[in-house]
Amino acid sequence: MDKFVVETSPNLQGSIRVSGAKNSVLIIMAASLLAEGECVIEDVPNLLDVHVMIDLLRSLGSEVHYDIEKEQLTTKVIDPTITDASYELTNRMRASIVVMGPLLARRKRANVALPGGCPIGARPIDLHLKGFRRLGVNVEIGHGYVEGRVDGDMHGNTIYLDFPSVGATENILMAATLAKGTTIIENAAQEPEITDLASFLTKMGANISGAGTSTIRIKGVEKLKGVRHQVIPDRIEAGTYMVASVITKSKIFVDNVLPTHLRPLISKLEEAGVIITPEGNGLYVDARNGYKGVDITTLPYPGFPTDMQAQFMAMLTVCEGVHRIRETIFENRFMYVNELMRMGAKINIDGSSAMVSGVNHLEGAQVKSTDLRAGAALILAGLVAKGKTEVFEIHHVDRGFVSIEKKLQSIGANIKRVQG
């Protein structure tokens, strides 16, 4: 089994380039199922999850070509009659559920294996289904599958989400593009990935307003066409490299970012005393004078992202004082804390809160990624731990970070991938 071997890396410097956003590209690929004609997607990161989505699109009748060098993906629906997404594929990636909206919209039926639990919590899809039902879809669950059927047409409606779920907002938004009449999603998620999806759909001919706010209005259209689209940069990957600079008290340039999408992170790092200076398409992160601890509460965008919680935890483990991290999005997102504690971190978990008491130093240890972002946090911890850290189960990391070891090596980090 592959592992990362990380050693103390006191002085990072240079520039690191952020790839296209995983959470955007997966949904945009799913949305290509709506197009009559070819879609060309640019800045597609070479990630395990992208390859799973390619397999899924192919199994649903799309012809897909992915040029890894050019980071360009071309996809076209050849057979629009397939409506079953198999367990073998959907089980490999939770985000697969977002094919349901496009399938219902264009093919009037979708039979998708129910996503199971995952290491960060139960992750139900009730809000997705509530939205579909409000649009007139008959939804039935049985034998591990969820089946949606539309008799006649879907009809626009007002849908209030009890929680601003990213996936539910995306799925309902895609389903509503071809429904008759107007759909209003209230308490919609406002994440930048929603805005990116809406801009892709709008180019395709959809009529959408309000994406990026809590109320999205979609006026159904007859059909959507194939288009070319460039995916936004990955704000979580950017944030992870920003924390790499901070934890090692270095100065690096993080290239290819949209600072507005990073506002919650920039503001927290500035509160910690880090100097952030935007320049061109990137920003300098200067922590050479050290950093102070901060308290964090994860929230839906524009609050602090849950996908950066673990990386900030790593940063706080070696920071003077006691600081609190509250996780409000996922019920079980502190699993990796035990791994940090094996490296000498002092963390007390009480329900959804973690109290982090800074220690002088961490010690290298053998640890395992429990999920994608946790794996990144363990690598960050390894950069400042004394001695060697071996991070196992790195397939989680490969799901969402493009060549993380090569990118970190390019700014002077002591990390290598060891095949085993």
Report if residue 392 touches ligand UD1, rule: CB under 6 A: no
Report if residue 95 touches ligand UD1, rule: CB under 6 A: yes
The residue with tokens 């999806």 is 197
Give the residue with the Cβ less far from ligand UD1, 95 or 104. 95
3-state DSSP assignment of residue 74 = strand
Smallest gap from Cβ 333 to ligand UD1, in A, equals: 9
Report if residue 362 touches ligand UD1, rule: CB under 6 A: no
3-state DSSP assignment of residue 233 = strand
Position 71, amino acid:
E
> Which of 124, 278, 290, 321 lies at the binding interface for ligand UD1 (CB under 6 A)?
124
Smallest gap from Cβ 165 to ligand UD1, in A, equals: 3
The residue with tokens 């307003």 is 209
Report if residue 132 touches ligand UD1, rule: CB under 6 A: no
Report if residue 231 touches ligand UD1, rule: CB under 6 A: no
Report if residue 371 touches ligand UD1, rule: CB under 6 A: no
Q: Which of 327, 311, 165, 167 is nearest to 236 (CA)?
A: 311
- For residues 135-174, which are near ligand UD1 according to CB under 6 A? 163, 165-168
Report if residue 26 touches ligand UD1, rule: CB under 6 A: yes
> Which of 63, 67, 88, 126 lies at the binding interface for ligand UD1 (CB under 6 A)?
126
Binding mask 322-351 for ligand UD1 (x = CB under 6 A): -------xx---------------------
Report if residue 112 touches ligand UD1, rule: CB under 6 A: no
**Does residue 30 contact residue 99 with C-beta atoms inside 8 Å?**
yes
Report if residue 278 touches ligand UD1, rule: CB under 6 A: no
Report if residue 56 touches ligand UD1, rule: CB under 6 A: no
Could you say which of 68, 78, 118, 275 is catalytic? 118
Contact window for ligand UD1 (CB under 6 A) among 63-71, 116-124, 219-227, 308-316: 116-124
Tokens representing 149 are 């059927």
Answer positive or negative: Cα dihedral of 354, 355, 358, 364: negative
> What's the CA gap between 223 and 324, in Å, rounded?
49
Cis, peptide link before residue 302, omega less than 30° from 0: yes
For the chain, counts of helices (H) and of strands (E): 14, 26
Tokens representing 173 are 């938004």
Smallest gap from Cβ 164 to ligand UD1, in A, equals: 7
> Which of 147, 196, 307, 405 lies at the binding interface for ligand UD1 (CB under 6 A)?
307
Q: Is 118 a catalytic residue?
A: yes
The residue with tokens 């139900």 is 124
Q: Which residues pair with 146 in a beta bridge?
A: 112, 141
Smallest gap from Cβ 100 to ligand UD1, in A, equals: 12
Helix axes 22-31, 166-176, angle to 10 degrees: 20
Q: Which residues pair with 366 in a beta bridge?
A: 390
Q: Within a 10 A sphere around the Cβ of 289, how many other Cβ atoms?
A: 10
Report if residue 317 touches ligand UD1, rule: CB under 6 A: no
> What's the CA gap between 3 and 61, in Å, rounded?
36
> What is the separation of C-alpha 110 from the centre of its chain, rounded to a whole number of angstroms?
24
Q: Which residues pair with 207 in a beta bridge?
A: 219
Contact window for ligand UD1 (CB under 6 A) among 120-128, 139-147, 222-230, 380-388: 120-128
Size of the site for ligand UD1 (CB under 6 A): 21
Report if residue 399 touches ligand UD1, rule: CB under 6 A: no
List interacting residues with ligand UD1 (CB under 6 A): 23, 26, 95, 121, 123-128, 163, 165-168, 189, 193, 306-307, 329-330
Residue numbers annotated as active site: 118
